[in-house]
């Protein structure tokens, strides 16, 4: 009987783990774990991003100006009132490992570039070891790791752009971000299901201990 329960627990744990943690970035799905992987950053900066529409710009320093037109378009949308920072937040993550330049120099230029567009109020983060690119990025194209991801208030990935964005893609990005910011945040049933699964696991644990 005990072996049967142990088998059940093992299967349950595998299902629970696969349910909770995605291992790739896909349209229509929640982003996988990424914040806790950015060692050396002040992650408290991300607290105001909760329940907001996000643009997450992963920047290859070798192509730092590649998607500046997208940043300008986002800034203009904020200035024009189409995007409101109450419901929207830009995030930039610089892949320091992609460049031969020392980290302090990369940070200096990245922060200086961010200060040129204060209206964006971009949250700057740095992927010192390039871990996000290694885990989730396009490691096939070693010439350019740049990417831009749009998520809704639920944390669901709604758009992915790799490399340099076209004018059409930039317009598409802005229009979709504007649309998503008006969709209210809804408490996900996923959290309730995770909680229930956790409670079930605790019950099984008690049975085994008994």
Structural domain spans, the chain: 24-187
d(CA 102, CA 105): 6
- What per-residue confidence (pLDDT) applies to 11? 39
d(CA 48, CA 45): 7
Residue 9 buriedness (CB in 10 A; 0-12 / 13-18 / 19+): middle
Element (H, E) at 160: strand 157-162
Of residues 2 and 28, which shows the higher confidence score?
A: 28
What is the CATH code for 24-187?
A: 3.40.30.10
Average pLDDT over the chain reads 84
- What per-residue confidence (pLDDT) applies to 206? 57
Residue 194 buriedness (CB in 10 A; 0-12 / 13-18 / 19+): middle
List Cα–Cα distances, 17 to 165, 201, 208, in angstroms. 35, 12, 20
- What per-residue confidence (pLDDT) applies to 71? 96
Residues 6+ away with beta carbon under 8 Å from 79: 119
- Structure tokens given for 69: 């037109």
180 pLDDT higher than 70: yes
The region of weakest confidence among 84-88, 151-155, 190-194 is 190-194
d(CA 147, CA 86): 24
In tens, the pLDDT along 123-167 reads: 999 999 999 998 887 655 668 889 999 999 999 999 999 999 999
- What per-residue confidence (pLDDT) applies to 88? 98
* Three-class DSSP category at 38: coil
Residues 6+ away with beta carbon under 8 Å from 128: 39, 40, 96, 97, 103
Q: In 3D, which of 85, 112, 90, 109 has the Cα closest to residue 99? A: 109
Average the pLDDT over 109-116 and give the result.
94
List Cα–Cα distances, 16 to 104, 114, 200, in angstroms. 41, 40, 11
Residue 59 near residue 94, CB atoms below 8 Å: yes
Residue 24 near residue 32, CB atoms below 8 Å: yes
């Amino acid at each position: 009987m005990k072996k049967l329960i142990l088998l059940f627990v093992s299967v349950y744990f595998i299902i629970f783990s696969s349910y909770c943690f995605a291992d790739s970035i896909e349209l229509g799905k929640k982003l996988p774990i990424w914040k806790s992987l950015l060692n050396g950053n002040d992650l408290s900066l991300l607290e105001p991003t909760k329940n907001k529409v996000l643009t997450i710009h992963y920047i290859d320093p070798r192509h730092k100006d590649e998607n500046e037109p997208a940043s300008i378009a986002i800034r203009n949308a904020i200035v024009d009132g189409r995007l409101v920072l109450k419901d929207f937040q830009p995030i930039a993550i610089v892949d320091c490992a992609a460049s031969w330049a020392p980290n302090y120099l990369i940070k200096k230029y990245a922060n200086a570039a961010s200060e040129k567009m204060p209206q964006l109020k971009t949250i700057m983060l740095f992927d010192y070891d390039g871990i996000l690119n290694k885990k989730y990025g396009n490691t096939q194209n070693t010439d350019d790791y740049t990417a831009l991801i749009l998520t809704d208030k639920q944390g669901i990935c709604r758009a992915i752009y790799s490399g340099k964005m076209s004018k059409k893609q930039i317009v598409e990005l802005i229009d979709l971000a504007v649309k998503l910011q008006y969709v209210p945040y809804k408490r996900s049933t996923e959290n309730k299901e995770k909680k229930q699964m956790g409670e079930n696991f605790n019950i099984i644990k008690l049975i085994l201990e008994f």
